Amino acid sequence: MSTPKNILMLPGDGIGPEVMGEVARIITWMNDKLGSGFVVEQDLVGGSCYDVHGCAVTDATMAKAHAADAVLLGAVGGPKWDNVAREHRPEAGLLRLRKEMDLFANLRPALVFDALIDASTLKPEVVRGLDIMIVRELTAGVYFGQPRGEDVRGGVRYGFDTQIYSQPEIERVARVAFELAKKRRGKVMSVEKANVMESGVFWREIVTALHKAEYPDVTLGHMYADNCAMQLVRNPGQFDVIVTDNLFGDILSDCAAMLTGSLGMLPSASLGARDAKTGKIPAMYEPVHGSAPDIAGQGKANPLATILSHSMMLRYSFDMAAEADRLDQAVQNVLAKGLRTADIMSDGCTLVSTSGMGNAVIKEMEALG
């Protein structure tokens, strides 16, 4: 019998429960057909949690997140909670999960599916076969640095933030990038602004030293963030793994995401450091898209980003590469057969509902044997 694999499922708000429901069905199928041993517990986060508990995530849920082998999150937020105090708004639940679980490495793949090449605004020959992984440092940098705030100096108002990184913070996220590259095409591009920022000079020095000491078998390059943004649009195929700081990662990952033509198709993973005693790596997986409250409950939501987030969970939290490949191939097959939810619908394709897409993916998994 397979060792139990404990998943905390946090559907969240808007379309979150619908897309998460399709993943729950896939997990049930994997338990029944493959003996995968997943044990799933559901709880509240975001606006749905605020409506019940008056906060975006409870201490009890945080304890479950720390104890779980992996967390799978749907989406949070919506106009219903726009006037809630900032510390209790839906997004505060997501930020607390990331911060308290110390999920410092955000993995954002930019993958172009063959069947969706025409959805990209770039020429097919530019994006065909595109497969990039952006590793964004998630818990430090300018978003968290001190001092920050506003001040009045000589009668003039100022707003300020501090970009600051420690050597360990850079080394740990760079290690994630190098390890990923070893399993991919063996190339890492480190991105900063060393030409104008002292923190960029420091970032480059630390990444270079780590590469020399521990990863000489991986090809390392360096690029300024503004040039990287241009190169992502000009020739994205040159990249394999990009590692960068919190601010630039925020910008570049969204830029890379749109190369694929559909933000609603993209998964993500946020990983922490391996526990020396248990060997467990804290991890949370979530689709890149938002809660889309305007279509919630209508069966129109695309579940594929959440399904692919589950695939990333299989790969990175449970070392189930074969099962992840099977799920990824099932998604490819469904798209190749022309099945589409409304957000990716095009001429000549067949429109399906949220559950219809889930049914199709399970059918393809069964067919793959």
As annotated, the active-site residues are: 143, 193, 226, 250, 254
Q: Among candidates 215, 252, 210, 217, which has minimal Cα distance to 231?
A: 252
Indicate the DSSP class of residue 113: -
Name the burial class of residue 364, with classes exposed (0-12), middle (13-18) and buried (19+) by CB atoms within 10 angstroms of its CB: buried
Contacts of 40 (CB under 8 A, 6+ apart): 7, 9, 24, 27
CA–CA distance, 365 with 307 (Å, rounded to integer): 12
Q: Are the CB atoms for 163 and 199 separated by under 8 Å?
A: yes
**Backbone phi and psi for residue 241, each to the nearest 5 degrees, phi listed first:** -115, 130
CA–CA distance, 236 with 231 (Å, rounded to integer): 6
- In order, the DSSP letters of 274-296 are PPTTT----EEEEESS---GGGT
Q: Three-state SS for 264?
A: helix
How would you classify the pairing of strands 149-153 and 156-160?
antiparallel
CA–CA distance, 343 with 35 (Å, rounded to integer): 34
Q: Among candidates 171, 163, 367, which has minimal Cα distance to 247?
A: 163
